[in-house]
Structures are given as C-alpha cells and as structure tokens.
Amino acid sequence: MALFNEQEQELIAAAIADAEKLTSGEIRIAIDKYCEGEALEKAAAYFAKLGMEKTKNRNGVLIYLAYEDHKFAVIGDYGINKVVPDDFWETTRTAMQAHFTGGNLAGGIIAGITLAGEKLAMFFPYQNGDINELPNDIVYMDQNQITS
C-alpha cells in the first residue's frame, strides 16, 4: 500500500508539474519507510541514483522522506545551490515540518515543491524548448517501484 492515497499522489504530481511549467528545473520526490543514518546523506545517495545531477543546468531538487523514522531532507544540485540564499533549504524544511507535525504528509511535500519551484522559476525561468528531463512520479525507493 502506498503512503499517499490516489488523490494525494495526483496533487503531488500536479504540484510538481505546475512548478516545472515555470522553470527549467526539475523536482523529484523519493520516499522510504526507514532511513538508517542521516536523511541528508540518504537523499544525496538517491539524488545520484535517480540521475538528478544530469540535468542541463544542474538545477534538480530532491525532496526525501522516510516516513516511519520521521526524517526528511531537501537537497538541490550545484546550479541551484550557488544562487539560493544560504538558509533556503532550512526555511523550506521548516515550512514542510509545520505540515508534517500536523499529520499532513502530502501537504508538507507540496509545500516543499511549491517553495523549491518558486526559487527555481526565479533563477531558472522556463525557456522555449525546455523539456521535462525527469519524471514527476513519486519514487518509493524501499519498494523499488515508481508510483504516480
């Protein structure tokens, strides 16, 4: 059984699609049940496993959630990291945590997508000919499946 119901999955995929309409950046969601170690380290490993560093402008963003361990991380590639404010990822995490604390996992993910999308659009606006370089599906890493 997926963490998110069908409606929540559709809302998350739509949030990614809406954010990416305004930017050349790419946003992905990776979900685990458990996370051994630090969430940021696991997110970095999945970032590479999902090929997110292969975007043309190095402007991919990964939101990682290990729901049973209550851990999560948000990371960006080199291109976005060099232009966003130093505290951007932490303020994004804080906004997401507010939803997570209230039990709204989908709302937290969508908040992260929205904030990342706004910054991506500011620094990497959509250009004619931009293509969606990575799928918008939620990736359930511990289940080795992709569900949208």
For the chain, the domains span 6-147
pLDDT, residue 2, reads 66
Task: For strands 60-66 and 71-76, give the pairing.
Answer: antiparallel
pTM: 0.91
Which helix (H) or strand (E) covers residue 76, if one does? strand 71-76
pLDDT mean values, one per 10 residues, the chain (148 residues):
84 94 93 94 95 89 95 95 91 95 95 95 86 75 54
Q: What is the CATH number of domain 6-147?
A: 3.10.310.50
